[in-house]
A and B are shown apart, each in its own frame.
Chain A
Amino acid sequence: MSDTLLSDGSVAQGCHPTTEINAMVNGRKVKRTVPNHYRVIDFIREELKLTGNKEGCGAGECGTCSMFVDGKLIKSCLSPVQKINGCSVETIDDMDRDSGMSLLQQAFNKCGASQCGYCIPGMVMAATSTLRQNPVASRDQIKEGLGGNICRCTGYQKIIDAVELARDVQSGAKPHSALDEDSATVSFIGQRTRRLDSPAKVTGAIKYAADMFMPNMLHMQVLRSPHAHARIVHIDFEAARLIPGVECVLTCDDVPGVDNFGVFIEDQPTLARGVVRYVGEAVVAVAAETLDIARAAVAAIHVEYEQLPTLFDPHEAMKDGAVQIHDFAQNNICKHTRIRKGDVDAALAQADFVVEQTYNTQSIEHAYLEPEAGLAYLEADGCVTVQSPSQNITHHRHMLARILGRPINKVRMIMSTVGGGFGGKEDMIYQGMLALAAIKTRRPVRYVFTREESIKASAKRHPFNIRYTMGLQRDGRIVATKMVMVSDGGAYALSTPGVMNKSAILGPGPYAIPNVWVDSIGVYTNNTPSGAFRAFGAFQSEFATECHLDLCAQKLGMDPVALRRINLMRDGATTHTRQQLDRVLAVECLEAAIKAAGWEPGVPYRQGHSQPQRTDFNYEGSRDFYLIGGKTKPSVPLNVAAHHTQGDMS
């Protein structure tokens, strides 16, 4: 770190005074000199390369970086590195070196408590702390102990089950064999086989993109737009380029090929080209020897903008005369999906009841615990390789080859372990910059998003405005459904066309309805782009349908289950897109759910209708999981030995 001081005694740009740290880490003495602004997480991950504990938010909110300092659980993203001087630190990397897994880790493994695995190191640390402090912690006390740790995948249930199991084995209430794996006797299909990646996830051994290091690796940082809609007049990056340690500065001018990407419509450049269309859009990328130098370089770039009129409301954006966000999209309409079946107007005119209501759903962040990260490098044969948690390496390779102007076999995409995706990692929003930087510098380049960067730059769930009109007969039969949905797609298309399709196809719900009208319109605005998100528009449209049916049940004085039972699709039903189905288990699902829940029929909000209160609350009788078999067999006989009966079809 001697090069951080210039001859006049001042510190070079992007360099910091250093500090010496002496500590015990996982039982070993360490002595290192690091920049004095380092946090404990930086020291552990970047200096010691102990990458088991993850950084999820950098703000002490998610708990993934939890580790022990002198036996006390801390959030290492909030602690200055100086705090561990002379202390003993325990990370997930070495919880129980001798046996491979601690009791708690074995219980996590047994219970299937890890999914993407990114939050699990922090969860194991928090659970360890909880049981160390209170070996007989109750389920509620365990929940409190884990209350500072966020998991986006599991819903926490299996994590809490695992902590209870560990507690009971530790206390002797359950035998150690309760941690053993179930063995298959007749078939591996249908078994609760333990996840094969689980030992690596509960011990922090598995590597995500941000955990990867390569020799001679550079660090990328990106300057992003502060404006929602602006013309780029001039970019001045000379000062940044001259900072020692800056290896390359990239703008759209450095893209050699056809510079557009997108899941359905390729409308987004790798780096903003002449115009920025949302706050957070990438404008300039820098690769430098250290993260600090890359940050200093980004701060030294000056971009002159000329602000343009903005659109934030999709209804306004569709009006004639509204500013055009993309030249090709008239009235800023990105996608309009229509479903037309029967004669909705005539059916509504003849219906006994017509119920109208408007529903609004919000913009939603995926909040995968792993922020975006990637590592790009050149191989000996000139192939450029990008490792990132991409949910679509096949399509990304196609687009990247075109952007880079290379043959497709000179572009290689490797999907690194994904720390949660939910659709949010289907968009190629940073892999292009990384590949360009690796080609230009001929060195490996890594880019790790901060949580703030991830939230502002990545896709969101489309917010929907849904105008609903439903016509019903007195007996509860739905005769017509009309849904008019307008959705904010944000500045670029990403998955908007697909989301509009799915919201429309599935929107009217699993019901047999003779007359259906659906409009699903996705609109460009200057908001953060909306994209793919678990259930892809169907979450929004089906939400409206299911709320609306409850409202209709109230109007008709019916039990909401009974209203659904009348209308649900049966075997051989015709869908809203006029597809003929064969087996339909919709009614069976409804009956199974209400049986498990112990549902007591009646009109919603009974006390409001002066009816006796429900007596089905807190029904505990069926809190085991169920398997309910059926009557069909797979069309192609299973190619297994005769004694392998199909154990999963009880």
Chain B
Amino acid sequence: MKQRGRGVACGWYGIARTAAMDRAAVWVELDDGGTVKIATGVTEIGEGVLTGLCQIAAQEMGVRPEDIVLGDNDTARVPEAAHAGATRMTYMIGNAVAVGCREAFGRFRVAMGAYWGVSAESVKAFSGQVWVEGSTSKLMSMEHAVHVLKKERGIVIVGSGLFTSAHTALHPETGEATPWQSYVFGAQVAEVEVDDDTGEVQVLGVWAAHDVGRVINPQQVEGQIEGSVIMGLGHALMEEYVQVNGVTTTPGFAKYILPTALDIPHVTSVLLTEPDPKTPLGVKGIGEPAITPTAAAIINAIYDAVGVRMTRLPATPERVMEALIAKRSAVQLATSPIEETIH
């Protein structure tokens, strides 16, 4: 018979490199055609950060995301941005892009203010248009503004940005430290259906709430949460790299089982968007935090459904069935999978 249950789990995660100085640098140039070159030393691993960086740069420079050219991923041509991992991309490089663009845009405003004879602060730009606040005549395209500054003033607008996140190392005996500046919290609820004749578990729904900071692109944040939840589902129920005397018995995807489209629940993402108070942009990250609660929420839901505690991952049908049989046989002695003492 199929039994349903629900489980909950919380999670937290530190953003960027752990207990170490983290840093990222970028170069910026306002280029011909009202385009912007951004050079920084890392590319994405699929999470969508390049698109996010373009959105940030577009907003800061007054152009459109498609006007940005990203020179990335090359140790010989662009400044260091350290590595692609540790939920640090949007946080470290996003902030560095913002800092670099603010420097460049600040110079642009000064130059255009001088050109128009107005204060730098009154020069505004958005989506490829430049104008003076309150004026109906002082208005031109960014493309034309770049042309004017280069040809008439001999100015090329450039900037650079550095973002540093200062973290301290762990005390070797007590662990005392400030390992991160910013943390992401989260909670997930999972609903499962357990077939108590076969031990099979189907996850029907996951609701995931995470305080991701200021959101650059909600679609990509959801993508990270959905991907994390399904990876966590695989970890909870099916994936296991097995070795016998050092030789793997799961050498390919026929033996190493991964979730497919047929295994997935609907994932509902809830994004708490309060900006991080400590950084220029207010962004944090979500690449890793979203996988921390998932497996436990599913395992707790299995208990809620059929009353067996799976303490060893993955909870394969064989293991769930074994636990159900043990429970039914009602021999709750030392052989029980639960070793617990209560006083």
Query: Residue-by-residue, is A363-407 near B (CB-CB < 8 Å gives 1, otherwise 0)?
Result: 111010000000000000001010001011111010000000000
Please state if A649 and B18 are interface contacts (CB–CB under 8 Å): no
Please state if B58 and A188 are interface contacts (CB–CB under 8 Å): yes
A409 at the interface (CB under 8 A from B): yes
Within 8 A of A (CB), among B30-81: 41-48, 50-51, 54-56, 58-60, 62, 64-66, 72-76, 80-81
CB closest residue in chain A, given B211: A585
**Shortest distance between the CB of B4 and any CB in chain A (Å):** 5
B141 at the interface (CB under 8 A from A): no
Q: Which of B110-118, B147-155, B307-315 contacts A (4 or more CB under 8 A)?
A: B307-315
Within 8 A of A (CB), among B103-158: 105-106, 124-127, 133
Please state if B217 and A192 are interface contacts (CB–CB under 8 Å): yes
Cα distance, A526 to B208, chains bound together (Å): 38
A88 at the interface (CB under 8 A from B): no
**Shortest distance between the CB of A529 and any CB in chain B (Å):** 12
Within 8 A of B (CB), among A161-206: 184, 187-197
Query: Residue-by-residue, is B226-258 near A (CB-CB < 8 Å gives 1, otherwise 0)?
Result: 111111100100011111011110111110101
A101 at the interface (CB under 8 A from B): no
B161 at the interface (CB under 8 A from A): no
Please state if B43 and A417 are interface contacts (CB–CB under 8 Å): yes
Please state if A354 and B343 are interface contacts (CB–CB under 8 Å): yes
Please state if A393 and B73 are interface contacts (CB–CB under 8 Å): yes
Please state if B211 and A588 are interface contacts (CB–CB under 8 Å): yes
In which size bucket is the chain B interface? 35 or more
Please state if A451 and B253 are interface contacts (CB–CB under 8 Å): yes
Which of these, B51, B227, B235, B272, contacts A196 with CB under 8 Å?
Answer: B51
Question: Hey, which chain B residues are within 8 Å of A395, CB to CB?
Answer: 83
Please state if A534 and B76 are interface contacts (CB–CB under 8 Å): no
A630-B273 in contact given A535-B292, A546-B300 (Cβ < 8 Å): yes
CB closest residue in chain B, given A556: B342
Q: Which 3 A-B pairs have the closest CB atoms?
A: A630-B274, A228-B246, A116-B46
Question: Hey, which chain B residues are within 8 Å of A144, CB to CB?
Answer: 261-262
**Shortest distance between the CB of A84 and any CB in chain B (Å):** 24
**Shortest distance between the CB of B267 and any CB in chain A (Å):** 6
A328 at the interface (CB under 8 A from B): no
**Shortest distance between the CB of B75 and any CB in chain A (Å):** 5
7 contacts between A and B (CB under 8 A): A361-B313, A362-B312, A394-B83, A419-B46, A510-B185, A539-B291, A634-B277
Query: Residue-by-residue, is B71-102 near A (CB-CB < 8 Å gives 1, otherwise 0)?
Result: 01111100011111110000000000000001
Please state if A188 and B59 are interface contacts (CB–CB under 8 Å): yes
**Shortest distance between the CB of B83 and any CB in chain A (Å):** 4
Cα distance, A569 to B10, chains bound together (Å): 11
Cα distance, A355 to B343, chains bound together (Å): 9
**Shortest distance between the CB of B245 and any CB in chain A (Å):** 7
CB closest residue in chain A, given B216: A189
A1 at the interface (CB under 8 A from B): no
Cα distance, A339 to B170, chains bound together (Å): 9
**Shortest distance between the CB of A188 and any CB in chain B (Å):** 5
**Shortest distance between the CB of A374 and any CB in chain B (Å):** 14
Cα distance, A251 to B18, chains bound together (Å): 35
Please state if A546 and B293 are interface contacts (CB–CB under 8 Å): yes
Please state if A546 and B296 are interface contacts (CB–CB under 8 Å): yes
Cα distance, A594 to B271, chains bound together (Å): 13
B276 at the interface (CB under 8 A from A): yes
Cα distance, A561 to B8, chains bound together (Å): 7
Question: Hey, which chain B residues are within 8 Å of A629, CB to CB?
Answer: 273-274
Which of these, B48, B173, B214, contacts A338 with CB under 8 Å?
Answer: B173
Please state if B85 and A426 are interface contacts (CB–CB under 8 Å): yes
Question: Hey, which chain B residues are within 8 Å of A414, CB to CB?
Answer: 73-75
Cα distance, A159 to B259, chains bound together (Å): 14
**Shortest distance between the CB of B173 and any CB in chain A (Å):** 6
B13 at the interface (CB under 8 A from A): yes
A115-B273 in contact given A147-B260, A354-B342 (Cβ < 8 Å): no
Question: Hey, which chain B residues are within 8 Å of A546, CB to CB?
Answer: 9-11, 293, 296-297, 300
Please state if A577 and B209 are interface contacts (CB–CB under 8 Å): no
Main secondary structure of the interface of A (DSSP, over half): loop
A154 at the interface (CB under 8 A from B): yes
Question: Hey, which chain A residues are within 8 Å of B11, CB to CB?
Answer: 509-510, 538, 542, 546
Query: Residue-by-residue, is A123-150 near B (CB-CB < 8 Å gives 1, otherwise 0)?
Result: 0000000000000000000111011111
Please state if B296 and A547 are interface contacts (CB–CB under 8 Å): yes
A584-B176 in contact given A534-B231, A644-B126 (Cβ < 8 Å): no
**Shortest distance between the CB of A127 and any CB in chain B (Å):** 10
Which of these, B75, B82, B189, contacts A593 with CB under 8 Å?
Answer: B189
A568-B10 in contact given A365-B250, A633-B282 (Cβ < 8 Å): yes
A418-B44 in contact given A604-B300, A626-B270 (Cβ < 8 Å): yes
Question: Hey, which chain A residues are within 8 Å of B82, CB to CB?
Answer: 392, 394
Please state if B340 and A357 are interface contacts (CB–CB under 8 Å): yes
Please state if A597 and B292 are interface contacts (CB–CB under 8 Å): no
Please state if A59 and B254 are interface contacts (CB–CB under 8 Å): yes
Within 8 A of A (CB), among B170-185: 170, 172-179, 183, 185
Question: Hey, which chain A residues are within 8 Å of B106, CB to CB?
Answer: 639
**Shortest distance between the CB of A565 and any CB in chain B (Å):** 10
Which of these, A160, A360, A535, A619, contacts B261 with CB under 8 Å?
Answer: A160
Q: Which of A5-13, A46-54, A498-506 contacts B (4 or more CB under 8 A)?
A: A498-506
**Shortest distance between the CB of B332 and any CB in chain A (Å):** 13
A612 at the interface (CB under 8 A from B): no
CB closest residue in chain B, given A379: B76
A213 at the interface (CB under 8 A from B): no
Which of these, B185, B228, B250, B256, contacts A584 with CB under 8 Å?
Answer: B185
CB closest residue in chain A, given B54: A196
Cα distance, A547 to B235, chains bound together (Å): 14
Which of these, A157, A583, A597, contacts B264 with CB under 8 Å?
Answer: A157
Please state if A577 and B261 are interface contacts (CB–CB under 8 Å): no
